[in-house]
Amino acid sequence: MASKKRSILDHVFVPKARILSKEEVEEVLRKYRVSKENLPKILETDPVVVELGAKKGDVIEFIRNSPVAGKSIYYRVVI
Amino acid sequence: MVRKKTIGAIEFGILSPDMIRKMSTVEVTVPETYDADGFPVEGGLMDPRMGVVDPGLRCKTCGQKMNKCPGHFGRIELVRPVIHTEYIKYVEGFLQATCAKCGRLVFSDETIEKVKKKYPPKMRFKYFVKKGAEVRKCPHCGYERPKIKFEKPYNFFEITGEEEKKIWPTEIRERFERIPDKDVEAMGFNPNKFRPEWLILTVLPVPPVTIRPSIILETGERAEDDLTHKLADIVYTNQRLKENIDAGAPQLIIEDLWDLLQYHVTTFFNNEAPGVPPSRHRSGRPLKTLVQRLKGKEGRFRYNLSGKRVNFAGRTVISPDIKISVGEVGVPQIMAEEITVPVHVTEWNIDEVKEYIKRDEYPRALYIIRPNGTRKRITPDNREDILEELAPGYIVERQVVDGDIALFNRQPSLHRVSLMAHRVRVLPGRTLRINPLANKPYNADFDGDEMNIHFVQTKDAQTESRELVAVKYNMISPRHGRILVTADEDALTGMFLLTWKDTKLTKEQAAELLYAIGITELPEPDEDGLISGKKIFSMLLPKDMNIEFPTKLCEYAKKFGYCEDCRNCDLETYVVIKDGELLKGVIDEEAIGTKGKIIHYIYRVYGPEEAERFVNRIGILSTMAIKMLGFTISYEELKIDEETKKKIEQIIEEGEKKALEYIELYKKGKLEPIPGFSEEESLELYIIQSLEEARKKVTAIVVKEKFEDFLKNPATAQGFVMIISGARGKVSNIINLVAFQGQAYVREKRPHRGFMGRVTAHFKPGDISPRARGFVKRSLREGLGMLDIFFWGMGGRIGEVDKGVSTQISGYYYRRLSNALMDVIVFPDGTLREVTNDALIAYRFGDDGMNPMAALDGKLPLDILYAKMKKLKGEKK
Ligand SMILES: [Mg+2]
Ligand SMILES: [Zn+2]
Ligand SMILES: [Zn+2]
Ligand SMILES: [Zn+2]
């Protein structure tokens, strides 16, 4: 049975997450006129961060389902 | 130049004995305060070196007078040390975690290093104490550690085998002195600011007399502050202890006095310490000592520091007045006479101001303030001089008059519309008056509610009040975009009756109604010479208004098959307004209620001023209409004809029978359980389902009959009018009155507790039939039986208790939440950020970026926005 390892990212309740490239991070910081320290944060030990293999300082994009807006995008910096 | 400085950090620590001695100006050795001649005793608790509280005297320490001397600490040298019981948890912690012999933490150096790396300072203490209490052998010196027992409130014992030996504070202090700084640091403290032996007091600071002044009673006697009393106890016990030790008294007596000293020091800090009997005044009143001064609602923090009293405010009972605007507040004249508003004298208003100064009676000036800031009361004697002197640049304080602006508030102030600005209307009487259509934002009623009023003083604040805080700009709820200041209850009923299809008024009646709202022209009468209510209502509407929508009534009409094609239905279920003329349909909640189409249309298309005027007018019109047309509910109205009654009884019997069948099935073990529920749970659900099904059927029958009664003649079904107009009440209320009460619930369950295996002694144990579990077959009209009332009372009482508890709890949650969110705002780019540190909270407010105030229940009212655009376009041309 335990042949295939399941990823928590595949679960329907886990928002879609991916690590942004350097250029994309620059773009986000410019778009929102914000410095990296002032972004919302996420712990390096967070299961999703561990699964993605993100390092401190990486910015992760979350796409969440929203009852009012359909999809909503959220960025967090790994600390 | 004033240098502005900000506080960078605050460091907390505890006072060392050295520090206490250094800040002390006097050692207090005698418990007396004043001698026979009334002079403070040297070395007593009122020693003048600790500051002065009598006017005229000078402080012996700083040489300043009463208002300048900050007060100075003294000290009491305790002959035997005592524990500072407010820190008893830390005393216990250090005892448990360190070795009595060598003073080291009872962990190996490697463990200590590891813990230091793993946990932040705050958590290290907890860790070492919890683990250290179990260590029996010191890893540093090999000492076999006895178990340490803490006995509330402040005693420690060492247990070796059967024996319990008390550890006296002297011993504790010696042990703590042996703890090296590095271990103190490892436990999460800064050893420069905190040494564990400082938790054991050898010297006690005596607070300055400034914080414990004595007062002179009318009898000329001096009464000392509670703190002084407590300090006197400490000094006295300390002296006795000293004398006994010096005299070589037996150990037992010394220990008793030592304990007493510990008790007095404990209660000096906190007279409500758990497990310690409170120290009392001679009268039996518990003393208010240090902690009591700071703690709680009436403590220093919440009462004096966070809470400030204000001037130019008033509070009294409120009562309704439909004839003042929703934007106004009625102020009793006696209040207006007491409170002033400053007027800055200019060359343009000086004559007007002079009129106020000349007057003897109510709207008059009370004070002038000269440009140099001196204030003078205006009296008949100095009036002429003042009039002579008055020039631009002066300020005159005159009594509050009509048109002034005031902030009106009712607690609990849960949202921003709990405080709004109203224009003042000075009225006779002793209550504050408010238009009843404006009471929803305040959640006020008139059963004795009191409200606060603040008369706004400065020009800036007045302008802000008028332009931002005024009622007309806050009619829309910032939470969901509904209009809060509009018709409800009787105002809705009145408008419904006025605009119902048969309602026609004579010319005289119509004139009376319209005159009350300032309209002096009559609409064209019908052929019969009468004027319909709809025509009168139309007089309130803007002439270019066009809107169509189904009424609240339509919901019911549809349900019972009376309305199929709303637009062409002659049942008044569809409102058609064409060019400001109400052609069809009755005006109810759907039109002018909190989500009403007409009121939203007027607010959003014509603006706040027009909306305020409209609301004022529907208030007056409907109140006068309901008085003119009459509104009442009769016992007769609650009757149903015999045939329907029989039908209802039969349905109820069937429902009950079905429930009993389920019980039989369950007893035989043949009940099919609902997936996910036990057999018992399923049975309850089945029973409730069968009874509620019966209720549903009864509801359909009764409402249909009432609806038909209403259609035949609204006058015979006025209770029903309240429901279908949305004014008050639900259909279930009618059923309870007319048909039967039905199942009583206690926290969503059938009543089941109370007596052994039954709710009351009137049933056999284990009886779970509908009757035994709160199913009531009688109606309120017939009257309930004793048991029926009991069953319904159970749920009612619990509901009432839960309501009280949950409002308190959720109120506190809300307070904390709103304080935490205070400085998070929506930025122009739609992001949410914290103002104080620019932290980004959300990339788009609420995910959709919608301003809830501009929407209605989260959706944009497109039809209304379209009308607004059309109007704007028309205006441009
Ligand atoms: Mg009330
Ligand atoms: Zn002084
Ligand atoms: Zn040791
Ligand atoms: Zn309809």
Under the phi-then-psi rule, with left for phi > 0, alpha for psi from -120 to 50, and beta for the rest, what region is B33?
alpha
Full DSSP string of B50-119: G---STT-B-TTT--BTTT-----EEEEEEEEEE-GGGHHHHHHHHHHB-TTT--BSS-HHHHHHHHHHS
Which residue in the set A38, A66, A72 is minimally distant from B838, CB to CB? A38
**Smallest Cα distance from B857 to chain A, Å:** 12
**Chain A touched by B110 (CB under 8 Å):** no
Which residues of chain B are under the pLDDT cut of 50?
none
Helix H, strand E, coil C: the string for B644-668 is HHHHHHHHHHHHHHHHHHHHHHHHC
**Partners of residue B841 in chain A, C-beta under 8 Å:** 40
Superfamily of domain A14-78, CATH level 4:
RPB5-like RNA polymerase subunit (3.90.940.20)
Q: How many CB atoms lie within 10 A of CB B152?
A: 11
β-strand B419-427 against B328-332: which pairing, if any? parallel
Position A4 confidence tier, pLDDT thresholds 50, 70, 90: low
CA distances from B827 to A28, A32, A75, B480, B849 (A): 17, 11, 18, 20, 11
- 3-state class (DSSP) for residue B184: helix
Query: Strand B365-369's sheet: what is its strand order?
Result: B340-344, B395-399, B365-369, B375-377
Name which of B574, B568, B575 is nearest B538 in CA terms: B575
**Partners of residue A33 in chain B, C-beta under 8 Å:** 829
CATH number of B490-629: 1.10.274.100
Res B877: pLDDT:
59
**Chain A touched by B223 (CB under 8 Å):** no
B843 vs A74: CB contact, 8 Å cut-off?
Answer: yes
Span B313-474 CATH architecture: Beta Barrel (2.40)
What percent helix, strand, coil does chain B show, rounded to 5?
40, 15, 40
- 3-state class (DSSP) for residue B27: strand
Helix (H) or strand (E) holding B807: helix B786-821
CA-nearest residue to B837 within chain A is A38
β-strand B405-409 against B775-776: which pairing, if any? unpaired
Res B1: pLDDT:
66
Res B876: pLDDT:
67
How is chain B split into domains, by residue range? Answer: 82-200, 225-309, 313-474, 490-629, 636-801
E-strand ranges in A1-79 read 16-19, 41-42, 59-66, 70-78
B843 vs A38: CB contact, 8 Å cut-off?
Answer: no
| pLDDT per position as a tens digit, B234-256 | 999 999 999 999 999 899 999 99
Residue B450 CA to ligand 1 centre (angstroms)? 8
Res B293: pLDDT:
95
Q: Are B149 and B157 in contact (CB under 8 A)?
A: yes
β-strand B340-344 against B824-826: which pairing, if any? unpaired
Position A2 confidence tier, pLDDT thresholds 50, 70, 90: low
The length of chain B, given as a count of residues: 877
Q: What is the rounded distance in angstroms from the CA atom of residue B436 to the CA atom of residue B853?
A: 23
Res B53: pLDDT:
79
A68 vs B848: CB contact, 8 Å cut-off?
Answer: yes
**Smallest Cα distance from B847 to chain A, Å:** 6
What value of ipTM does the predicted structure carry?
A: 0.93
Substitution target in A68, A71, A73, A74 with the highest count of B β-carbons within 10 Å is A68
**Chain A touched by B859 (CB under 8 Å):** no
CATH number of B636-801: 1.10.132.30
Helix H, strand E, coil C: the string for B353-383 is HHHHHHCCCCCCEEEEECCCCCEEECCCCCH
**Partners of residue A75 in chain B, C-beta under 8 Å:** 843
CA distances from B310 to B126, B314, B418 (A): 45, 10, 18
What are phi and psi for residue B735, nearest 5 degrees? -60, -45
What are phi and psi for residue B517, nearest 5 degrees? -105, 15
pLDDT at A55 over 90: yes
Hunting for tokens 């607070």 — which residue is that? B207
pLDDT at A3 over 70: no
Residues from A in contact with B at Cβ < 8 Å: 32-35, 38-40, 66, 68-69, 72-75
Query: End-to-end distance of chain B based on CA atoms, in angstroms?
Result: 59
Residues forming a β-bridge with B421: B407, B470
What are phi and psi for residue B389, nearest 5 degrees? -75, -30
Residues forming a β-bridge with B105: B98
Q: Are B188 and B124 in contact (CB under 8 A)?
A: yes
- With a CB cutoff of 8 Å and minimum separation 6, the contacts of B685 are B674, B677
Q: What is the rounded distance in angstroms from the CA atom of residue B871 to the CA atom of residue B153?
A: 77
How is chain A split into domains, by residue range? Answer: 14-78
CA-nearest residue to B859 within chain A is A68
Hunting for tokens 């001698």 — which residue is that? B35
Single pTM value for the model:
0.78
CA-angle at B556, arms to B554 and B559, nearest 5°: 105
**Chain A touched by B839 (CB under 8 Å):** yes
Hunting for tokens 């009308």 — which residue is that? B867
Q: Are B836 and B823 in contact (CB under 8 A)?
A: yes
Q: Are A60 and A20 in contact (CB under 8 A)?
A: yes
